[in-house]
Each structure stands twice: as C-alpha cells, then as structure tokens.
Amino acid sequence: MSSDFKGKHLLTCEDWSKQELDTVFNTASDLKQKFANETPTRYLQDKTLFMIFFEQSTRTRNSMEAGMTQLGGHAHDLTADKMQLSHGETPKDTAIILSRMGHGIASRNCFYGIGNKYLSEIAKNSTKPVMSLQDDIYHPFQGLADLMTIFEHLGKNTNGLKVTVSWAYADTHSKPLSVPQTQILLFPRFGIDVTVAHPKEFPLSKNIVEKAKKNAEDGGGSLKFTNNMDEAFEGAQIVIPKNWGGFGYYDINDYLQNEEESKKEMKANLEKYKSWICDDKKIKLADKNVKLMHALPADRGNEVTDEILDDPNISIVFDEAENRLHTAKSIMSLTM
C-alpha cells in the first residue's frame, strides 16, 4: 500500500483531493476483485483498529470489523458502556491512550451538535489515523461506497449524470443529515448533476449547501433544489429516497436549548408528508433505466415500496451495501 496516505484522517471526503479519492476507488476495486477470488490481502498484519460506537450499526460495524480481519488485523468493538466515557473520560484522553495502543481509531457519534466535534477532538489528539463512521454532519464511508457503486453501474465518466437525492417519509427516528450532505458535497466533484428534493421543513444545513455549490462549480457538476418530489424524479438516472430529520430547519444553538420542543415540532412536520414515498408512480417519472440507491436500512413501505426496493432491474442497494466493505478496506489499508 502507498505510504503517501499513512496516518491520514478520514472525517470527511472534503479533506481528500479528487486525485486521492481516485486512488481510494482504484484500491477498493482491486480489493473487491481479490475478495471475489479469495486472494489473501493481509496488508495490516497484526494491526489493531479501535471502533467506538455511540449508536447501533449493521453495515458500518461489520464492514470495518470484517475488513480488518480480511486485512490480517483485528478490530475492537467498543461502546460507551465498555469504556470510561460515562465516568467523564474526555475525547482527548481517549485518543491519546488508544493511539498509543493500536494503529487506528474509528468512531460513530451522530448526536446533533456533538458528533463531529467529538470526532474532531479525537483526531486532534490521536497520533494514528482517525476515521469517521458517521457523525451529525458527514458520513464519508457511505459516500465512498455510493460513488463506487455508481462507477460500477454507470461507468466512471459521470459528467452530466442525473442523480436525485430526495427526502422521504419514515416513522422510525429522526435520522441525521450526514448521508445526503455527504452526497451533495461529493457527487458534484465528479461532474454529477444532483437534484435535492425536500419539504420546506426538512432542509439541509446552509453552510453545507453553500460548500456543495462551490464543489459543483469546481467539479463541473451542478446542484439544484426543489420542494416537489415528482419534479425531482423527472428524468433521473439514479434516485436516492432517504429520510432525514429537520435539524437544518433550526439554528443549532436554539435546537440544543429547546431540544424536546424541537423534536415535537419535527414529529408534527413529519406527519404532513406521508406521500413522499418512492413508488411505481415516482419511478415512472425517472429515466427508463433508472437505478435505486439507499444507504439502508430502508423504511419499507414509507421511504420506498417493496416493489421497487426488491426489483433487480432497478435496485442496486445490496451492491451499494457490499461496497461498504471494499471502500472501508481501501481506506484502512491506505492509512494504517
């Protein structure tokens, strides 16, 4: 593996140049081929990754843990109850200690107004690479897997490709903004034309939108917004129906000071938009060869119907999920 990346953090794809990301994708493709051929890739022999999870996880935890095993190392699955966090241990102290004991630190902390700050503090004090497994602002590993999947199904020349990222109804929990925000920041850097659809009460963060617009200018893609889901689906070659909470509707300090009241308002706003679902009617508005993507788990029957999610001619969500493994292995092998 190239030593140029050794020790480099991955808190957001924004910190990686397009040329560096190209290396990540090429490495991931090579690792995927070797995995299919059962060719050993023990690039991280005897190395240790510490994983700190503040939330539940399926794809993220298993892609990292399986990935470390396949690379010849070991991953520790840590949660707050297995550490001294509940007793007041600071992210600084955690970072210093763990980076002296192993070779990488990865963490998921999606608490709004807290997560990214926590990971940034870990990275500031770690002597080993720190990887974000998702926070309240970014989800870099999901963005990498998404783009790898797009390359596989529609080719690496993505200039002018029409991708729709649409808010969709879900009744599970207020999901972070990090997946759609990562997508609008990353995709236009590769020439992709992104349309974002959302009800007015469920915007993305203003500062992220402004940065994404700049990325589109620099990368040759485009970014536009609409409050009409049907309009967003028209002619789309890829559609990504995904619920996210209404956090961007509030000033972050106001939200944190009035969290319970804000959550109640978000819940009331949510119930207005049950019709925001990816179904056969919506899909027929898109390109005839449209592909469906989703970070999973999908809220079936709310975000997207089973009919669409399980259609092998449309849905590429399981390829997308598998690519979480290969992009994770790419980042770990390059940085650790």
In the chain, the number of structural domains is: 2
Side-chain-facing half-sphere of 208: CA atoms under 13 Å: 21
Residues 179 and 259 in one domain: yes
Residues 133 and 169 in one domain: no
The residue assigned the tokens 């009800």 is: 199
The predicted pLDDT at position 55 comes to 85
Bridge partner list, 104 = 49
For residues 333 and 311, give the distance between their C-alpha atoms in angstroms, rounded to a whole number: 34
Residues 151 and 71 in one domain: no
Residues 124 and 193 in one domain: no
The predicted pLDDT at position 173 comes to 67
Residues 49 and 195 in one domain: no
Q: Where are the alpha helices (DSSP H) in 187-272?
A: 206-219, 229-233, 252-257, 259-270
For residues 21 and 143, give the distance between their C-alpha atoms in angstroms, rounded to a whole number: 11
The predicted pLDDT at position 84 comes to 67
- Tell me: the pLDDT tens digits for 257-280? 898 898 899 999 999 999 999 999
For residues 265 and 55, give the distance between their C-alpha atoms in angstroms, rounded to a whole number: 23
Residues 83 and 200 in one domain: no
Considering only CA atoms, which of 162, 306, 154, 149 is closest in space to residue 233? Answer: 162
Residues 132 and 171 in one domain: no
**Can you give the CATH number for the domain in which 180 is found?**
3.40.50.1370
Pairing relation of β-strands 291-292 and 238-241?
A: parallel
- Tell me: the pLDDT tens digits for 284-301? 999 999 999 999 999 999
Percent over 90 (pLDDT), the chain: 88
- pLDDT surpasses 80 at 89: yes
Residues 329 and 306 in one domain: no
The predicted pLDDT at position 72 comes to 98
Side-chain-facing half-sphere of 227: CA atoms under 13 Å: 6
Maximum alpha-carbon separation in the chain = 56
Considering only CA atoms, which of 249, 254, 243 is closest in space to residue 266? Answer: 249
Mean pLDDT value across the chain: 95
Q: What amino acid is encoded at 48 in this protein?
A: T
The predicted pLDDT at position 302 comes to 96
DSSP 3-state of 114: coil
- Tell me: the pLDDT tens digits for 214-258? 999 999 999 999 999 999 999 999 999 999 999 999 988 888 889
The residue range of the domain holding 302 is 142-321
For residues 218 and 196, give the distance between their C-alpha atoms in angstroms, rounded to a whole number: 19
